Chain A
Amino acid sequence: MAGLDEGAPLFVQIAERLADEIADGALAEGDRVPSTNELAAYYRINPATAAKGISMLTDDGLLEKRRGIGMFVAAGAKARLLAERRKRFAERYVEPLVAEAGRLGINADELIALIRESSYMQKGTGI
C-alpha cells in the first residue's frame, strides 16, 4: 500500500490522489489515467478497490471511458475540481487557521501580516 495510510477507505484515497493530479495539472484533460490493474500494482491494492476509486471519479464526470482504450480525464475536469476546492477553501483552511490564531492571541491584523509574509516568502502564489 505505497503511501496509502490515512484511514479513509482505500478507494476514496485512490480517487483523491487522482483528483489531486488532475487539479495540479499532472494529469491534463484528455490524458489517459492509469488502468485499474496499473493502479493496483502501484499502490499494492486489490484491483476491485482501484476500480471503485476510478468509478467514483467517473460518477462525478471527472473521468470518461473510451471504449476499448481506457479512462481519460474529461474536458473541464480541472476547472470543476478547482471551483469545488475554492468553495471549500474557507471551511477547510481559513476557519481552522483563524480559530488557532484566536487561541494563540494572534489578532486579525497580525494574522493578515503573517499571511502576507508567508506569501512573499513563497513568491508567485499571487496574493
Chain B
Amino acid sequence: MNKLNLNRNKIAACRNYSKIIAADLQKIIDKNTTVSVERSILRLFGVDGVDKSGLPYPNILAEKIKEAGVLQYGAANVMASTMIQNRKNFKETVSLIILGKVKPLYVADKRNKQVVNRLSEYGISRVEKARKDRAKLQAKNPTGKGPWFYLIVATGNIYEDVKQARSAALNGANCIAVIRSTAQSLMDYVPYGATTTGFGGTYATQENFRIMRKALDEISVKLGRYIYLVNYCSGLCMCEIAAMGAMERLDMMLNDSMYGIIFRDINMYRTFIDQHFSRMINTQAGIIINTGEDNYLTTADAVKQAHTVLASEFINERLAKNAGMPEKLMGLGHAFEINPDIKNSFLLELAQAQMVREIFPESPIKYMPPTKHITGDIFKAHVIDSMFNLASVATNQSIHLLGILTEGIHTPFIQDRYLSIESAKYVMNAAKDMSTEVTFRKNGLIQKRANEVLDKALKMLGKIKKEGLLNALEQGCFADIKRPRKGGKGFEGVIAKAKEYTNPFEERWSLLK
C-alpha cells in the first residue's frame, strides 16, 4: 500500500535512528531493576493478598528485601536463598518474612537456580494457560475484521461496569476498556479486591479483572464474537499490572514507554525499566498494547505537533521490539484532534491517519476520537465523531475508540454509548470499501501533508539520536513538557543490579524470542 507516495528511505532512516536511540536506553535498562519489577516477579510466583491496613504482600516483601539490603540480587534469588537457608517452603517463607520472623537474605548457592526455576513455574504456566484459553475462545468466536469498536465503561463500580459493558457488547462493541480510578498511576502499590466506589473509574485490581473477564466471556459465547478486555498497565506499577493482566487474560493494555514520564511526572529511569519488563510480560501473554501518543495532541497543537506523534510511534515500536514484542501486538496510538474550524481539517486528518496506517502496516493501530475541540454541544460533537468514524474506515484503522457525544460532560451514559455505536455502524457500513476504492491525488494536499509530517519526524528523531532520549525529554521534545532525569516520582525505587541478579521470567521468555 502506497497511497501517499511516502519516501521509503526516510521511513527506513526513522527506524534506524530509533534503533540507535533505543540501544542507548537498553544499556540503562539492562543494568537496573526497580521495586515494581521485583514485585511483579513476586506476583508471578503467586504472592497475592494484603495485610490489615490494605498494604499488598508483594509490597511488604519487596520493602523487607530492600531494607535487608539484598534487593540488588533480585527478589527471585533472595526468596530462593531464604527458603534454602531456613529450610522452609515458599508459602512459609513469605509469611515469616512478612511477620518479621525471618530476615530475607542472599547466599550464593548452586541450589538457588533450581528453586528459582521451580517458583517461576506458577507464573509461566498461568500466562501460558491464559494465552491458550484466548486462542480457543477466539477460534470459536471470531472478532472479525476491524476497525474494532472500543468503548469505555467508567461507573466506578465494577458490578455496574459489567452491566454497561454487556449492553455495549450487545450493541456492537468489540473491546471494553474499564477506566481506572483517578490517579492510580501515581500509587506505588496495586489495590486489592473489587471496587464499588471508585472515583472516575475502578482500580485495576486482579479481582476486578476477574469479574469483568467472566462477564465478557459469557457475552462473547452468547454473541459468538470474542470481546476484548482492556485495562491500563501504566504508572508506577506498570509491570505488576501487566503480570496480573497476563494471568487473568486481559487482551489489551494501555502501555506506553513515555506517557508516565511526560504526563504523570514519573521518573524516566523508573519508567523505561518498568516498560521493558511489562512489554515482555504482555508479549508472552499475547496482549495487544496501546501506546499513548494521542495524549500529546490534547495539550500540543495537532497540526504543528503531528510529527511528534510519529516520532514517538517509531520509538515505542523499537522499544517494544527490544522487549521481544511482535508488530501484531503493537497498537500504536494517534488521534483525530485537529481544530475543526481549520479549512480542510478533515483532509489533514485523513493524511495523518493514512500515514500511520502505511508506515506501520502490521500494527493494530489505535485511533483516538476528538476530545480537545468538543465543547459540550452534544449535537455538534456527534457530527464531528461521525467524521472521525469516516476517517477511520477510510484509512483502515484497527482499534477504533468511539467518540462519545457527551465527551467532557460526564463519563458515558448507557445511551451515549448506544448512540455512538449507531453512528459508527452506519458510517463504517456506508463507506465500507472506501480504503480500497479511493486513492489520493499525486502531490495533492493529502500526499504533501503526510510527507511533510514524515520529514519533520525524521528531523526530530535525528536530533534525539544526537542528544539521547533522556536529554530530549529534559528539553521538552514531547507535548512541550520538560522532565528532569532524576526528578519525578519513583526514582528511589530504581536499583542497580548485582552481578548475581536474576529475573527468571526475563531469562525464560527471552530464550523463546
Q: Do chains A and B interact in one complex?
A: no
Interface residues of B (CB under 8 A from A): none
Interface residues of A (CB under 8 A from B): none
